Amino acid sequence: MRPWFTKFSGVLYDRRWLNTVEKIYQVLYRNESYLRNISPLARVGLVFAEQYPNYGNKPWQQRNADHGSGMYHALLENRIPFEMVNSRLLDKEHLKSFRLLILPNISTLSDSQCDQIKKYVEEGGSIVATFETSLYNENGNQRENFGLSDCWGII
């Protein structure tokens, strides 16, 4: 946990808030040993892909981030602890703490990324994938079948 406070403008017209901020930082300082160097407890990973915000010309492919935002909101509303997982970091080391990976329309995945996810599933992990997840390769070319079809039993 890294608290951050920002004050814009160099002029203090109202000083009433200063004592409150000072007290907050004093409490954080006294409890620093409990707030540092700890591992997250979340066992759900929400995958996001920065490199492919829009992957085609169809209307639903132009607002691809909406899928992730919707899943993010659903997890928050249901108070499910989760961590964000970059689609470029799907190796065993980065996924070892998760029991579930959620792929909200992560449509473009390379063969290597698909293999990493398949290995995660083979080793006991679970996935939830929506819409066109893995239907396209990293170049945006549509595959004949989903790259993760083996995980779902789709032939």
Look at the block and give the residue holding tokens 């017209």.
13
Q: What is the pLDDT of residue 113?
A: 97
Q: What is the pLDDT of residue 40?
A: 82
pLDDT averaged over consecutive 10-residue blocks of the chain (155 residues)? 71 86 90 81 93 71 82 96 95 96 95 97 96 91 93 73
Closest CA to 55 of 138, 140, 114, 134: 140
Q: 116 phi and psi, to 5 degrees?
A: -65, -40
